[in-house]
């Protein structure tokens, strides 16, 4: 019998984790044209046929609500309207010559900036049809031409139809006294700990504060074996984002000896072709531990059958 969780002091670092979602973004015709032409060192805007407003970047709908627009090539020079300094960069609102709205972009280089200052575009030497092909804006040289009106546009390349991107969310997750004790014991001792309900005596794995059978508070810790019984399984053939291995593989529900709830983990050492006919609920399995443990359920590499089929 082990002490209740709230009597065991823990000083565990939070779990550092990242949720990453790669995907392809469809920018649409206006943005796709704007991005594609940046690689040719051209800035593309749109002019509304109704109100004659020129906006940059190119838009699909004018701010007046009209959607009959034409592409125009706008000046690569303009006037600084406002700016803000940040720790790693300076951002400015630039009114390009002949445009009726401001373009938000980086102010390039270590300069003294001033509202009303004339600026010119500076470009990447390795264009990739992305926003930073236009590196930003810098003070205009003495030979810079001012006051150029938007000109008729003729595409030099196909609009960008899609672009690879990725959403990343970085966060810290405190394991707490229940998961924290479980993961700490797995890392340091190769030992699996469940928590016993004070009312129905169920041993819950993973451990938690409340019993999900009778909703009473859990009480004391209990050792759970790393052997158990196969309850159910799925054979994964499809590939999807977030997988930790390439299919095919077997995903199994396992009831460990001494536990009253199941865990889900990989089942290895099984012929995938024969698995549907030969794998049966009730088969005995055992955990295979990793040599280097870090404190998570992944410290168990996989489960394997005790009596191979």
Written as six digits, the tokens of 11 are: 């000083």
Q: Is 173 exposed, middle or buried (CB count within 10 Å of its CB: 0-12, 13-18, 19+)? A: exposed
Q: Residue 99: what pLDDT? A: 96
Domain extent listing, the chain: 1-24+176-224, 27-161, 226-309
Cα 185 to Cα 188, 193, 263, 295, distances in angstroms: 5, 7, 17, 8
Q: Residue 1: what pLDDT? A: 43
Task: Pick the closest to residue 225 from 182, 256, 181 (CA basis).
Answer: 256
Written as six digits, the tokens of 53 are: 């407003």
Q: Residue 309: what pLDDT? A: 64
- Most confident range (mean pLDDT) of 42-51, 159-168, 216-225 is 42-51
Please state which CATH class domain 226-309 belongs to: mainly beta
The backbone torsions φ and ψ at residue 70, rounded to the nearest 5 degrees and listed phi first, read -125, 145
Span 145-156, average pLDDT: 83
pTM passes above 0.85: no
Q: Is the pLDDT at 121 greater than 50, yes or no?
A: yes
Owner of token pair 């030979």: 143
- Most confident range (mean pLDDT) of 43-52, 144-153, 184-193, 270-279 is 43-52
Q: Residue 2: what pLDDT? A: 53
Who contacts 141 (Cβ-Cβ below 8 Å, separation ≥6)?
120
């Amino acid at each position: 019998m082990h002490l209740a969780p709230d009597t065991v002091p823990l000083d565990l670092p939070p779990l550092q984790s990242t949720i990453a979602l790669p995907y392809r973004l469809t920018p649409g015709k206006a943005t796709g044209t704007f991005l594609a032409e940046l690689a040719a060192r051209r800035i593309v805007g749109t002019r509304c046929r109704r109100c004659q407003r020129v906006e940059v970047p190119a838009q699909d709908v004018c701010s007046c609500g009209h959607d009959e627009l034409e592409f125009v090539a706008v000046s690569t020079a303009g006037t600084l309207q406002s700016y803000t300094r940040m720790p790693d960069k300076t951002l400015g609102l630039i009114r390009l010559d002949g445009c009726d709205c401001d373009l938000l972009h980086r102010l390039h280089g270590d300069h003294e900036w001033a509202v009303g200052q004339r600026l010119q575009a500076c470009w990447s030497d390795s264009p990739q049809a992305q926003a930073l092909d236009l590196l930003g804006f810098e003070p205009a040289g003495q030979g810079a031409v001012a006051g150029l009106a938007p000109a008729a546009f003729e595409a030099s390349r196909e609009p960008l139809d899609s672009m690879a991107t990725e959403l990343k969310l970085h966060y810290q997750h405190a394991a707490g006294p229940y998961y924290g004790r479980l993961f700490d014991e797995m890392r340091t001792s190769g030992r699996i700990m469940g928590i016993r309900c004070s009312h129905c005596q169920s041993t819950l794995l993973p451990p938690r504060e409340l019993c999900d059978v009778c909703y009473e508070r859990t009480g004391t810790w209990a050792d759970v074996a790393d052997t158990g019984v196969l309850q159910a399984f799925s054979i994964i053939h499809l590939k999807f984002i977030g997988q930790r291995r390439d299919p095919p593989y077997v995903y199994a529900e396992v009831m460990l000896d001494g536990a009253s709830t199941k865990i889900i983990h990989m089942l290895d050492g099984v012929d995938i072709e024969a698995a549907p006919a030969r794998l049966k609920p009730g088969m005995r399995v055992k955990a295979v531990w990793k040599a280097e443990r870090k404190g998570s359920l992944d410290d168990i590499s996989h489960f394997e059958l005790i009596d191979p089929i």
